[in-house]
Amino acid sequence: MIQPDESVRVPAAFERMLWRHRGEPGMLIPLLQAAQDSYGFVPESAIGQISDITGIPTAEICGVITFYKQFRTKPLGKHIIRLCKGTACHVVGAETIGQVISDELVVAPDETTGDGVFTYMVVACLGCCSLAPALMIDDQTHGRLTPQSVRKLLRQYRRDADKAAEAAGGERPATA
């Protein structure tokens, strides 16, 4: 059984859900959603706690997490990149843009860079097809992308993240 990490404080909303649904195996999905809403992902400690209160083995819970794409077991990066692979973007080079992102950040879709700055996701239409190929970084849309403009954009975000880390007095881990 996975033991909860005592050093990690359990968010109040998740703790309330655990108490409310103690012993209810049918509540697995809502409990996983509550954990993800509270932590931003489903940590091992939460899996252990859910297992304890529902009686569902951790291996089974991990299987459910793997099955549903909505659940993450690792934290998201500081910036979320959503590259559109919808039809309009696809026909004007979204594939190439995706390759540039992977090369520049050394990351595959659905992964987070080793320094925790970017999480890269591939999504369906962003609703701004006239700007194809397009992506979003957090809530900012960037369109009519070229390999050069994407590289420039990512480097700008990384420089800003470096500056913010420096200003906060912390050191960023080496890039993956």
Tokens read off for 85: 């692979």
Strand partners, 118: 79
Tokens read off for 152: 């420039």
Phi and psi dihedrals of 82, rounded to 5? -120, 105
Specify the residue, 116 or 133, whose C-beta has the smaller distance to ligand FES.
Answer: 133
Q: Does 146 bind ligand FES (CB under 6 A)?
A: no
Q: At closest approach, how far in Å is the CB of 113 from ligand FES? A: 23
Binding piece for ligand FES, criterion CB under 6 A, among 30-38, 40-48, 73-81, 120-128:
120-128
Residue number with the shortest CB distance to ligand FES? 86
Specify the residue, 72 or 142, whose C-beta has the smaller distance to ligand FES.
Answer: 142
CA distances from 81 to 57, 109, 165 (A): 34, 10, 19
Q: Does 10 bind ligand FES (CB under 6 A)?
A: no
Q: At closest approach, how far in Å is the CB of 160 from ligand FES? A: 25
- Encoded one letter per residue, x for contact with ligand FES by CB under 6 A and - for no contact, window 50-89 reads ----------------------------------x-xxxx
Q: Does 145 bind ligand FES (CB under 6 A)?
A: no
Phi and psi dihedrals of 123, rounded to 5? -130, 170
DSSP 89-146: HHHTTHHHHHHHHHHHHT--TTEE-TTSSEEEEEES--S-GGG-S-EEETTEEE-S--
Strand partners, 136: 82, 141
Binding piece for ligand FES, criterion CB under 6 A, among 6-14, 31-39, 62-70, 125-133:
125-133
Residues in the interface with ligand FES (CB under 6 A) total 11
Q: Which amino acid is at 18?
A: L
Interaction site with ligand FES (CB under 6 A) = 84, 86-89, 125-126, 128-129, 132, 134
